[in-house]
Amino acid sequence: MKTRSKNIYTLLLLAFFCQGVNAQVSKPQVKSELVFIDEHKELQEQLIPLDSILSLAVKNSSAVKFQADLIRVAQDQMATNKNLWTNNMVGFVNYSAGNQSIVTADNTTPGVVNSSNISNGLRFGVQINLPLSELMTRKSRMASFKNTITSTIDKRDQAIEELKQVVIQLYYTLIYNSNLLSIRSEAKASAINQYSIAEKQFKDGAIDIGELSRLKSIEVNARADYEEAKREFSTAYYQMEPLVGVPFQQLILKK
């Protein structure tokens, strides 16, 4: 009886893994490896460590990636703003050729003019104009950008902590539901077996209809409890994959 219940539980677990594998059978280029669950061990003993599961969840979380992108955007904005003063820097290059004379009046002696020639050649230089606002507001602007970066980092860390809490809760829910499913499977098999024996005893006149009805009620309740346990396990199982971001098979320890 115990062996039969274990087999039922094992077949159920294998059915979950086969669903993901069968979806890839039609593609010859994809190699799928079926991961078997050892029915003689608890599920927790067959999963990778919880820390590894948490790392996978953080690595593949879209919410964490979004916050990380916001951090990079804020850092880039700060770096760009730091160099904003260079917009007021202008370089120039010119070349003069030919006879260029400049005539100027002599301020000390009226009517007397002076002349000079500009030498031919290449001229270049840099002109810098720094607005007063750039000097007065630069410190406060940099502080504002730093605060934005710090706030975004805090939001990312908060998203990571919240994600870890959800994963931890779901992890132990999955373990609990797996153990509960095993127990319900044994109870179901036992109830079915007892009712089967009771039917024979009723036909032989060994028990009355009242006892048969009582055992039938136990069997029905055992079936209902088993279906409820299977539903809860299935829910936790299928919630784990999108939360961690990898197929459930990757959470099983390689033998």
Q: Can you give the pLDDT at residue 20?
A: 43
Q: Can you give the pLDDT at residue 17?
A: 45
Q: Can you give the pLDDT at residue 113?
A: 52
Question: In this structure, are residues 58 and 160 in contact, taking their beta carbons and an 8 Å threshold?
Answer: yes
Q: State pLDDT tens for residues 70-128.
A: 999 989 888 887 776 666 666 656 666 555 555 555 556 565 555 555 555 666 666 66
Identify the residue whose tokens are 């810098």.
128
Q: State pLDDT tens for residues 170-189.
A: 999 999 999 999 999 999 99
Separation of alpha carbons 9 and 184, rounded Å:
9
Question: In this structure, are residues 23 and 244 in contact, taking their beta carbons and an 8 Å threshold?
Answer: no
Q: Higher model confidence: residue 5 or residue 137?
A: 137
Closest CA to 127 of 168, 80, 94, 167: 94
| Helices and strands (DSSP H and E) totals, the chain | 6, 4
Separation of alpha carbons 64 and 160, rounded Å:
6
Separation of alpha carbons 242 and 57, rounded Å:
9
Q: Can you give the pLDDT at residue 81?
A: 78
Length of the chain in terms of residues written: 255
204: Cα separation from own chain's centroid: 63
Give the CA count within 13 Å in the CB-facing half-sphere of 153. Answer: 9
Say if residue 249's pLDDT is above 70: yes
> What pTM was estimated for this model as a whole?
0.66
User: Could you tell me which residues are beta bridge partners of residue 89?
Assistant: 128
Say if residue 41's pLDDT is above 90: no
Judged by average pLDDT, the poorest of 32-41, 82-91, 163-172 is: 32-41
Q: Can you give the pLDDT at residue 27?
A: 35
Say if residue 19's pLDDT is above 60: no
Residue 8: count of CB within 10 angstroms of its CB: 18
> With bands split at pLDDT 50, 70 and 90, how would you rate the model's confidence at 26?
very low
> With bands split at pLDDT 50, 70 and 90, how would you rate the model's confidence at 136?
confident
- Which residues, 6+ apart, have CB-to-CB distance to 245 below 8 Å? 56, 57, 59, 60, 61
If you average pLDDT over residues 148-171, what whole number do you get?
95
Sign of CA dihedral 140, 142, 147, 148: positive
If you average pLDDT over residues 44-71, what whole number do you get?
94
Question: In this structure, are residues 226 and 38 in contact, taking their beta carbons and an 8 Å threshold?
Answer: no
Say if residue 220's pLDDT is above 50: yes
Residue 35: both structure tokens together: 């991961």
> With bands split at pLDDT 50, 70 and 90, how would you rate the model's confidence at 143?
confident
Give the three-state DSSP class for 217: helix
- CATH architecture for the domain at 48-78+152-255: Up-down Bundle (1.20)
Q: Mean pLDDT over all residues of the chain?
A: 78
Residue % of the chain over a pLDDT of 70: 64
40: Cα separation from own chain's centroid: 33
